[in-house]
Amino acid sequence: MSKHRMKLAVGMSLLFIGMGIAPGFTLASDIFESTLETVEFVQVFSEPMIIEKGEFVEIYVEETNSFMTDDGAPMMPFFSKTYEFPLGTEITNVEATTSKVETINVGKQVDPVPSKQRIGDSIALVETIMNQEVYTSSKPYPSEWCSYVTGAGLNKNNDHVLFLSLQVYPTRCLPLENTVQYVKQVEISVEYNVPDSKTTNSDIYDLVIIAPLEFSDSLEPLIYHKNDYGVETNLVTLEYIYANFSGRDKAEKIKYFVKYAVEEWNTHYVLLIGDVKKLPIRTTYASPWEIDILSDLYYADIYDDNYSFCNWDANGNDIFGEVSWEGGFPPRMKDLDGVDLYADVHLGRIPCSDEKELDVVVNKIINYERETYNQIWFKKIILAGGDTFPLVKWGKPFVYEGEITNTKVAQQLPDFKHVKLWTSKRNLNALTFNLAISKGAGFVSYAGHGFEMGWGTYPPNAIINRMIMYYTPYLKGMRNNQKLPVVFFDACLTAKLDFNITDLEGYYPILIKLLLIFTRLDYDPSVFYPCFAWCFLKKEDGGSIATIGATRTAYTWVDKDGVYAGAGYLDVQFFKAYEEGVTAGEMLTKAQNGYISNVGKDYFTIEEFLLLGDPSLVVGGYS
């Protein structure tokens, strides 16, 4: 494609937008006839195993695959199963029928789920903080033998579907009686109305790039490259979106345009170009600690389970993604704004501030997709971690959370070489981290503490608050050139896109005061610095090809037996999603979907993790 032709394609796309919005597929409101159908399944369970744990008991059932995660409530096992229904389906009834209910007197109360506690800039899980509303109740917990959540999003085939995630509970506890009810069989019946027909547009643009006009020239090589490989790509400028789409603010106008691209062009990938000043990010309020969250998922979550536009502000108060934490201690979560959480497009961002930064990342993407396939170095994953919560951080002895998470990640990639940089092996530090990545690897999974300008973790069972640290300037020693990994930071703050001087002052108050006195440093919180995850991506002679990180403080729930929730669980699900030919955006979307299915709608975790990089990037390159 010539330069002239590329610019013509951009101009034509804008013309098409101006012609008006026609639905690209049938939504629920357009369905006039439907058919009532039923799907059923029977799940058989073994008798529960009751294991003594000090003053509590733990319950295990062989066939279950997850645990309830309500803070401070009994940790009850469940079996999860997710169904996918065609676009336009309406779930009318979900009914559970059980075999005979039997009872065991366990003599003690069931072990509570550890409660998330924010301590400084860290979140620790504190055990034996019991939700008294549950433990003093005479009612069974959970109250039903089955529960479910629904949402509209993309499945593994990039089809828009309705997800129905069932949680089937083979056991329920009666806390006041110290007894456990259990059943050996649960039969689930789901009634639903399925639309008789639906229409879809053929693919027009697989990938839509949204960028300020100033970046158009720098994006030309990427558009040529994507089109050459059959990924039909279009650039739409922010200036055009702001002028031609309605919305209460710039972010909502962008989201309405994404909706248009999905419906009219059957777009599956959206790449945002620009830092959060050039292209806004949505601030949401799903944290239990009265702090905000930055979330690009806002742009990707277009529909709710009724296929209506999901504006993330159902109560209309212009405060987005509100979650209320109510009732007792620990508090219970209640979604106030109807956030669906399932992504309807795969989305990523290149948070560049100028053309030079963008040129670096564009060149890396093009070279990676052309040259990486069948390279030996790609079949390697670097696993970095340690004792995230040692004795000095209120943790248990000999439970090394980062290394346990790394082990679970490694199990998802059995055909990859596993390079373990662990504090228990005494081989994790800035030098070994750089050397390992410089040799080349397809993936990096780091599990531990993080901050805006690096990561840090502890030696095993540390009793002194002294971390093994890695800071952004250390990236200068990384020389992996074009051997670029996809990196997941199972940590706090590494993708804090609004990193500013107040954050630095929180870490180094005396140093910042001295710099203000003796230098011309300007104390301006409106000036944002590049965060660690972005520095990793924009490094010119190496670094990463895509990075997943958290925009705010994160939590993880890990014990000696596994990983149950939080950043660590999303980390495991992300690498579970890998298969040859998958894209980076698909991996993150699959991880989010798996998290919702097996853990639930953890708004805090799912909203704050974002992809820095190209969501249409073919991981491992084109064959």
Contact (Cβ atoms closer than 8 angstroms) between residue 180 and residue 48: yes
The pTM for the full model equals 0.90
Show the beta-strand stretches assigned E in 45-76: 49-53, 56-60, 66-67
What distance in Å separates the CA atoms of residue 384 and residue 399, rounded to the nearest whole number?
15
Q: How many CB atoms lie within 10 A of CB 310?
A: 25
Max CA pair span of the chain:
78
CA–CA distance from 234 to each of 29, 343, 564 (Å)?
29, 20, 40
The whole-number pLDDT of residue 4 equals 29
Which residues of the chain fall below pLDDT 50? Answer: 1-33, 119, 328-330
Q: What domains can you pick out in the chain, each with its CATH number?
A: 3-16+200-335 (3.40.50.10390), 29-195 (2.60.40.3800), 360-503+530-612 (3.40.50.1460), 504-529 (no CATH)
Amino acid at 146: C
Q: How many CB atoms lie within 10 A of CB 204?
A: 16
The whole-number pLDDT of residue 507 equals 86
Tell me the pLDDT tens digit for each residue of 537-546: 999 999 999 9
- DSSP-based helix, strand, coil % in the chain, nearest 5: 30, 30, 40
Residue with tokens 């009914």: 95
- The DSSP symbol for 125 reads E
Nearest to 240 by CA among 228, 250, 229: 250
Q: Which two tokens stand for residue 432?
A: 């070994």
Q: How many CB atoms lie within 10 A of CB 290?
A: 8
What distance in Å separates the CA atoms of residue 369 and residue 528, rounded to the nearest whole number?
31
What distance in Å separates the CA atoms of residue 164 and residue 167, rounded to the nearest whole number?
10
What distance in Å separates the CA atoms of residue 427 and residue 433, rounded to the nearest whole number?
9
Element (H, E) at 368: helix 355-371
What distance in Å separates the CA atoms of residue 180 and residue 187, rounded to the nearest whole number?
20
Q: Which two tokens stand for residue 366?
A: 């093009």
Element (H, E) at 259: helix 250-265
CA–CA distance from 107 to each of 50, 102, 161 (Å)?
11, 16, 46
Tell me the pLDDT tens digit for each residue of 383-414: 999 999 999 888 889 999 999 999 999 999 99
